[in-house]
Amino acid sequence: MGAITLSKVEKWFGDVQVIKGVDLEIRDGEFVVFVGPSGCGKSTLLRMIGGLEDTSRGAMLIDGVDVTDHPPAKRGLTMVFQSYALYPHMSVRENMGFSLKTAGAPAAEIAEKVEAAAAVLKLEPYLDRRPKDLSGGQRQRVAIGRSIVRAPTAFLFDEPLSNLDAALRVEMRYEIAKLHQSLDTTMIYVTHDQVEAMTLADRIVVLEFGKIAQVGTPRELYETPANLFVAQFIGSPK
């Protein structure tokens, strides 16, 4: 479960249209990356899918259900941001279990889900530490762990690695790819980093001024870019 359909989706901020009629079918379990230059609408489109921004026109379906007017909590998706605000006074274990606790889950169930997520993310040795005693990469893992415990239908990532240094970015990129393999959950990932896009994506969506310039596998985009904009962005030789 985790198929997402966007149908003629538009976003207007006042008189300014920033998403200009986007049609997209994301398959269950697919890893889709949104790329494009700064200001092209990547974050806005992702936030609309998550329900953090409303959709001005068009429709959005998750597993066939029209969620266009559903609030974030009813969509079953989870967002992971670059600023992974962890609670400083809570341990890793408490940070990861917090959303389940506020939802009223029993302690035993919380413990089980946190342990399982910690195993996937190799966070077991750090469960009793505070965020300040973790490295940047470990903190980002805790932020992802908070999402995993809720068993979301899909993960929405908005440039989750852009605060990390280059070496750590490469390591976390690899971790996210492994996570996708092991969870088999739909992931939508926003980045302006071509290498991240090319290595992570099943399909890449290239956005240009709020419109889709091209959708395809990394190889399709590299070998047959639809236009010069895509070619330049992907770095293909056309």
Cβ 44 to ligand ADP shortest distance, Å: 3
Cβ 16 to ligand ADP shortest distance, Å: 6
Tell whether residue 39 is a contact of ligand ADP (CB under 6 A).
Answer: yes
Q: Which residues, in sequence order, are CB contacts of 151 under 8 Å at separation 6+?
A: 113
Cβ 97 to ligand ADP shortest distance, Å: 31
Among 4, 24, 43, 172, binds ligand ADP (CB under 6 A): 43
Cβ 24 to ligand ADP shortest distance, Å: 15
Q: In terms of CB distance, is 44 or 147 closer to ligand ADP?
A: 44
Tell whether residue 212 is a contact of ligand ADP (CB under 6 A).
Answer: no
Alpha-carbon distance of 199 to 188, in angstroms, equals 14
Q: What count of other Cβ atoms lies within 10 Å of the Cβ of residue 208?
A: 17
Alpha-carbon distance of 206 to 35, in angstroms, equals 5
Touching Mg ion, residues 40-79 (CB under 5 A): 43
Q: In terms of CB distance, is 92 or 187 closer to ligand ADP?
A: 187
Tell whether residue 125 is a contact of ligand ADP (CB under 6 A).
Answer: no
Q: Among 28, 87, 12, 78, which Cα is nearest to 50's?
A: 78
CA 204 to chain centroid: 13
In the list ligand ADP, Mg ion, none, the entry touching 44 (Cβ below 5 to 8 angstroms by class) is: ligand ADP
Alpha-carbon distance of 157 to 32, in angstroms, equals 10
User: What is the residue whose two structure tokens read 């009813």?
Assistant: 74
Strand partners, 214: 206
Tell whether residue 13 is a contact of ligand ADP (CB under 6 A).
Answer: yes
Cα three-residue angle 176-193-142, rounded to 5 degrees? 30
Cβ 50 to Mg ion shortest distance, Å: 13
Tell whether residue 180 is a contact of ligand ADP (CB under 6 A).
Answer: no
Among 18, 143, 188, 200, binds ligand ADP (CB under 6 A): 18
In the list Mg ion, ligand ADP, none, the entry touching 145 (Cβ below 5 to 8 angstroms by class) is: none
Please give the residue whose beta carbon sits closest to Mg ion in the complex.
43
| Segment lying near Mg ion (by CB under 5 A), choices 6-14, 36-44, 49-57, 92-100 | 36-44
Tell whether residue 38 is a contact of ligand ADP (CB under 6 A).
Answer: yes
Which positions touch ligand ADP (CB under 6 A)?
A: 13, 18, 36, 38-44
Which positions touch Mg ion (CB under 5 A)?
A: 43
